[in-house]
Amino acid sequence: MRETAVGILGTGKYVPERRLTNKDLEQMVETNDEWIVTRTGIRERRIAEPAQASSDLAYEASVRALAAAGLTADQLDLIIVATITPDMFFPSTACLLQDRLGAKQAAAFDLSAACSGFIYGLATAASFVKTGMYRRILVVGAETLSRITDYTDRNTCILFGDGAGAVVVGEVPEGRGFRSFVLGADGSGGELLRICGGGSRLPATEQSVADKKHFLEMNGRDVFKFAVRVMGSAAEEALDKAGLAKADIDLLVPHQANIRIVQAALERLGLSEDKAMVNLDRYGNVSAASIPIALAEAVEEGRAKTGDTLLLVGFGGGLTWGASALVL
């Protein structure tokens, strides 16, 4: 009996209309367009409207992914939302999304692995389908990072944006689908990228708000070093597990954090820049949403086609990392 081939049935993305450009940031903090572009590659990012929450962005991306897969919401068995900016502690953003989609047959839960969350979600979904427990799973990366960004901190406010990407995972024809997954974590680096306030360790108080403990904190230098190292090693491990060579990659879809990190990964893999899907200049770092947004855009633009071999790779707070080789 052959093993079930599991892959991506459809992709979708949504980004808010409002743009926050580098020129806008020049009016807010001591920075400038040239400095931001040179060090990050980012030119603008999208910002959610005050009334929009992560579940709203997730809904729009999910509707598009379902349409691309030719499915309706009531055909879903499970919804996984990867996010570090849920609408609220509970109910989960996935449950809110399930209700709005009308996916009455679907179980639902959120997954927290920061920028690696979407890869973690894909691995979880693929495992469920392979075991036969579920047939069709919606995996979403959705973030409203503008709500946890301190716009007086020039080291972080230049980086982050809002958006959502979604895919439907299910059985695909033989020869297609996921070939490997690599997941990893190093909790000893947790303090390098975190939000201290709001949880059971440091509940919200007047003082915690005054001390800005509910905003994202990052040690940019050490996170950069970690990212450069782990993006390359995770990518190589995923290829090795899949029995693929670097030359087999048709498109690299990396986490969109910093153009220099992407370039370092390309150099390690021996790939030219046209082999990478890069949109961070327009969206910035959208955490768990960055890879699915980039993937959906690659499909829209014809850069990722059925039968192409893709390599997805990301890293994030935790510290965490993940990679996947697949045939679309």
Per-residue pLDDT tens digits for 311-327:
999 999 999 999 999 99
Q: 115 catalytic, yes or no?
A: yes
The whole-angstrom distance between residue 180's C-alpha and the CA centroid of its chain comes to 18
Distance from C-alpha of 91 to C-alpha of 204, rounded to nearest angstrom: 19
Which pLDDT does position 294 carry in this prediction? 98
Q: Which amino acid is at 321?
A: W
| pLDDT(217) > 90 | yes
Contacts of 38 (CB under 8 A, 6+ apart): none
Whether 6-174 shares its CATH topology with 178-327 is answered: yes
Which pLDDT does position 20 carry in this prediction? 98
Report DSSP state, residue 282: H
Over residues 11-19, the mean pLDDT reads 98
191 within 8 A of 44, measured Cβ to Cβ? no
Q: What are the structure tokens assigned to 276, written together?
A: 């990478």
Q: What mean pLDDT value characterizes the chain?
A: 97
Distance from C-alpha of 71 to C-alpha of 105, rounded to nearest angstrom: 13
Q: What is the pLDDT of residues 167-216, one digit of tens each?
A: 999 999 999 999 999 999 999 999 999 999 999 999 999 999 999 999 99
Q: What are phi and psi of 290, to 5 degrees?
A: -70, -45
CATH of the domain spanning 178-327? 3.40.47.10
- Which secondary-structure segment (H or E) carries 143? strand 137-144
- Which secondary-structure segment (H or E) carries 323? strand 320-327
% pLDDT > 90, the chain: 98
23 within 8 A of 13, measured Cβ to Cβ? no
CB crowding 248-278: b at 16 or more within 10 Å, else e: ebebbbbbbbbbebbebbbebbebeeebbbb
295 within 8 A of 301, measured Cβ to Cβ? no
Q: What is the pLDDT of residues 104-151, one digit of tens each?
A: 999 999 999 999 999 999 999 999 999 999 999 999 999 999 999 999
Catalytic residue among 95, 157, 255, 258: 255
Q: 157 catalytic, yes or no?
A: no
142 within 8 A of 55, measured Cβ to Cβ? yes
SS3 290: helix
Which pLDDT does position 1 carry in this prediction? 54
The domain segmentation of the chain, as residue ranges, is 6-174, 178-327
Q: 255 catalytic, yes or no?
A: yes
217-218/251-254 β-pairing: unpaired
Distance from C-alpha of 277 to C-alpha of 280, rounded to nearest angstrom: 9
pLDDT category of residue 285 using cuts at 50, 70 and 90: very high
pLDDT category of residue 240 using cuts at 50, 70 and 90: very high
115 within 8 A of 290, measured Cβ to Cβ? yes
CATH 3.90.1150.10 matches 6-174? no
78-82/217-218 β-pairing: unpaired
Contacts of 144 (CB under 8 A, 6+ apart): 48, 52, 53, 54, 57, 85, 162
Catalytic residue among 22, 95, 115, 258: 115
Report DSSP state, residue 285: B
The whole-angstrom distance between residue 211's C-alpha and the CA centroid of its chain comes to 29
Distance from C-alpha of 285 to C-alpha of 258, rounded to nearest angstrom: 8
